[in-house]
């Protein structure tokens, strides 16, 4: 059974840093692109960043470029999101997602989400 379990969320002050982790199981992690998607309270879904299966290429939305870093450790089957210089508008539930291999890259599995609150 595919499982994605996020951790590392919490309350953080503006300008500070936080690192999210996503432990994957039930599939060969190194074979899949992965992504982070977020959802601000009562708002819609917003793609944040993606990473190729080898970790050799990464992609970001403009609003997080230069502040967030997506990475992975294939030996540990873990995805990360390092978030620096956090802003109040980064407050959201962050979902770890697996991008499917044979479905136009659509995220086919999602974690339960982890809440990040940026506030003084």
Which residues sit at the interface with other proteins, rule CB under 8 A? Answer: 35, 44-47, 50, 59-62, 95, 100, 103-108, 110-113
Cα 77 to Cα 16, 37, 52, 86, 92: the distances in Å are 27, 18, 13, 26, 24
State which residue, 29 or 60, has the beta carbon closest to other proteins.
Answer: 60
Least gap, CB of 87 to other proteins (angstroms)? 18
Q: Can you read off the two tokens belonging to residue 4?
A: 């994605």
State which residue, 80 or 109, has the beta carbon closest to other proteins.
Answer: 109
State which residue, 44 or 56, has the beta carbon closest to other proteins.
Answer: 44
Tell me the HSE value of 90 on the side-chain side, using a 13 A CA sphere: 31
Please state, in angstroms and rounded to a whole number, the distance separating the CA atoms of residues 18 and 71: 14
Least gap, CB of 45 to other proteins (angstroms)? 5
């Amino acid at each position: 059974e595919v499982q994605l379990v996020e951790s590392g969320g919490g309350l953080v002050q503006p300008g500070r840093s936080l690192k999210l982790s996503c432990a994957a199981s039930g599939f060969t992690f190194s074979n899949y692109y992965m992504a982070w998607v977020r959802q601000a309270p009562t708002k819609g879904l917003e793609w944040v960043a993606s990473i190729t299966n080898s970790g050799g290429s990464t992609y970001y939305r403009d609003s997080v470029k230069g502040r967030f870093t997506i990475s992975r450790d294939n030996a540990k089957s873990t995805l990360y999101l390092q978030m620096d210089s956090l802003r109040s508008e980064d407050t959201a539930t962050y979902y770890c997602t697996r991008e499917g291999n044979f479905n136009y890259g659509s995220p086919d599995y999602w974690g339960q989400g982890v809440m990040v609150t940026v506030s003084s």
